[in-house]
Structure 1
């Protein structure tokens, strides 16, 4: 399963990347909107783990580009803010599947990736 992680914090992104790789996933880590969109221009991950608050760029622009280019890709948003905690992210982003805190255990994140990845595979 191909996974793209878009996370500004290199240490957190690497933690998630290593954990997902231990589960046999093909994982790419990008830190900015531009780098993520560049990757998405030439690749088609099944799952995108995307921090809502990027230090460089806009997460919603990444999600929108992904939805346009590969509508079957599933987006798992992570955030350390209460913004969109009312669930409105699902009204704004058609391919959003979850919004979890950045402190979510890597094992739980891996379980979500596996779950939503199966949805893409069966579609």
Structure 2
């Protein structure tokens, strides 16, 4: 018998100064998207004043968290972990691919790869990797 738990798992994105811009960009691209909560570092730190201490946002009903790390680090996002989006139609896939790819990096151009009708993989200008899929 499984006991109910209050445990919740949420995708957490760590930026170095771009969290607010990334969050606003993502919310602008998806339906049912909103910034749920955001708090900023004040003058007393430890992060740069005005950067994101902690934020929660939702895309298509899925919640994400993000921060601007107060500590510099030698790592960033990797395509080994990506956000997978089931697109409603080809127009949506192309729109998202173009927007997310602007200033980013193409990992797989939109096309038919045998495992879906249409698929594209792109790393956005913030370094976050997105797989865009048209099922069927």
- TM-score (ref. length: structure 2): 0.25
Whose helix fraction is larger, Structure 1's or Structure 2's? 1
Higher RCO structure (Cα 8 Å, ≥6 apart): 1
Higher strand share: 2
Q: TM-score, with normalisation over the residues of structure 1?
A: 0.27
Q: Which has the larger radius of gyration?
A: 2
